[in-house]
Amino acid sequence: MHYSPAPLHIPDGFLSVVVAVILWIVSLAGLGYALKRVNQDLGERQAPLMGVLAAAIFAGQMLNFTVAGGTSGHLLGAALATILLGPWAAIVVMVCVVSVQALIFQDGGLLALGANIFNMAIVGVAVSYFAYQTIRKFAGNQRWGLLVGGFAAAWLSVVVAALATALELAVSGTSPANVAVPAMGLIHMLIGVGEGLITIGALLFVRAARPELLGRSAASGRAGRAVWAIGLVIALVLAVLSPLASAHPDGLEWFAEQQGFIDRAQSPLYDLIPDYAFPGISDPALATIVAGVLGTLLVFMVALGIAVNRRRRSTSTPG
């Protein structure tokens, strides 16, 4: 067993700076509010409980099962966390999981972390909450409500997070919407089934061992209804936007160009100083060669410095 990266974690380099920064801001706002709400609910217990449960979701993601032909599925956990902890604690826990994955295991980038938090912790939790609470309302306290609600929440959280990822890539100009959206969507409709089954397995175990834990998930009052509504809106918007975007990829392309002034090949400055490539050098190929020579010199000097330093270290410590 080893740490296996999930396909939803966007690495750095794939998102435009504007998209990354906007999603950072949205995610931080969501996290800030969630932290406040959890503090109201749990008080002094917040830090230890959130820390340990984040570790548990992380460890739970390592419990893989063989699907077929050497591939294996494993838990992502947003739905499970939402059902067991309620939306606010689930957001905090998933933010911790996604952040540690990026910081320690480079699963997902650091600049892209805002987007990954948005997709898995905010969208994933809101959509799970919407799906689960809706179905539970119809089912009352019956077993099928737990199973169908758990499955739907898990499946939807994965699929919707994948669609959000695809749209973010399209808006960044990294992947055309008419390819990315159906591809990501279809793959995650399958992955979502695994997520659904594994979530059901976890819920059945909890129901058998500690049924009282299943009662806590509903968030109270207006904020709870707000999460439900946000989940509904996100699910609806993505359900409408995704086919639209893949049918008319030019729309997103236009979007990408509008904000793409930062990562377009030709910057506005290019027009101002047309023939000025590298200080004093006009030919781009030549500029690259000069950069290569400079870079090689730098690396060579560093390597030399290290070698000298090592020799000094080994002579000063005999044996």
Partner 1 sequence: MHVHFLDPYRPRPSLIHALDPRVKLALALAFILAVALTPIAAWPVYVLLAALLLSVVLLSELGVGHVLKRSALALPFVLAAIPILVTAPGATLWEATLAGLSLRLTDAGLARFGSIVLKSWLSVQMAIVLAASTTFPQLLLAMRALRVPRLLVAIFGLMWRYLFVLVDEALRLLRARAARSAAPTRPIAGARPGGSVAWRARVAGGMAGNLLIRSFDRGERIYAAMAARGYDGEIRAFPMPPIPAGQRLALIGGLVLLALLVGLGHLL
Please give the residues from 102 up to 131 whose contact with partner 1 meets the rule CB under 8 A.
102-107, 109-111
User: How far apart are CB 137 and partner 1 at their closest, in Å?
Assistant: 23
Q: Restricting to residues 212-231, name those near partner 1 by CB under 8 A.
A: 213
3 sits near partner 1 (criterion: CB under 8 A): yes
159 versus 228: smaller Cβ distance to partner 1 = 159
Q: Which one of 229, 295, 308, 314 is in contact with partner 1 (CB under 8 A)? A: 295
User: How far apart are CB 99 and partner 1 at their closest, in Å?
Assistant: 7
248 sits near partner 1 (criterion: CB under 8 A): no
Q: Which one of 40, 44, 316, 319 is in contact with partner 1 (CB under 8 A)? A: 44
User: How far apart are CB 88 and partner 1 at their closest, in Å?
Assistant: 13
Q: What is the DSSP string of the chain?
A: ------TT-PPTTSS-HHHHHHHHHHHHHHHHHHHHHHHHHHGGGHHHHHHHHHHHHHHHTT--EEEETTEEE----HHHHHHHH-HHHHHHHHHHHHHHHHHHH-SS-SSTHHHHIIIIIIIHHHHHHHHHHHHHHHHTT-HHHHHHHHHHHHHHHHHHHHHHHHHHHHHTTSS-HHHHHHHHHHHHHHHHHHHHHHHHHHHHHHHHH-GGGGGS-SPPHHHHHHHHHHHHHHHHHHHHHHHHHHH-HHHHHHHHHHHTTTTSSS-HHHHHSTT--BTTB--HHHHHHHHHHHHHHHHHHHHHHHHHHHHHHHHHS--
Q: Restricting to residues 49-88, name those near partner 1 by CB under 8 A.
A: 49-60, 62-68, 73-75, 77, 80, 84
275 sits near partner 1 (criterion: CB under 8 A): no
126 versus 169: smaller Cβ distance to partner 1 = 169
220 versus 292: smaller Cβ distance to partner 1 = 292
User: How far apart are CB 220 and partner 1 at their closest, in Å?
Assistant: 20
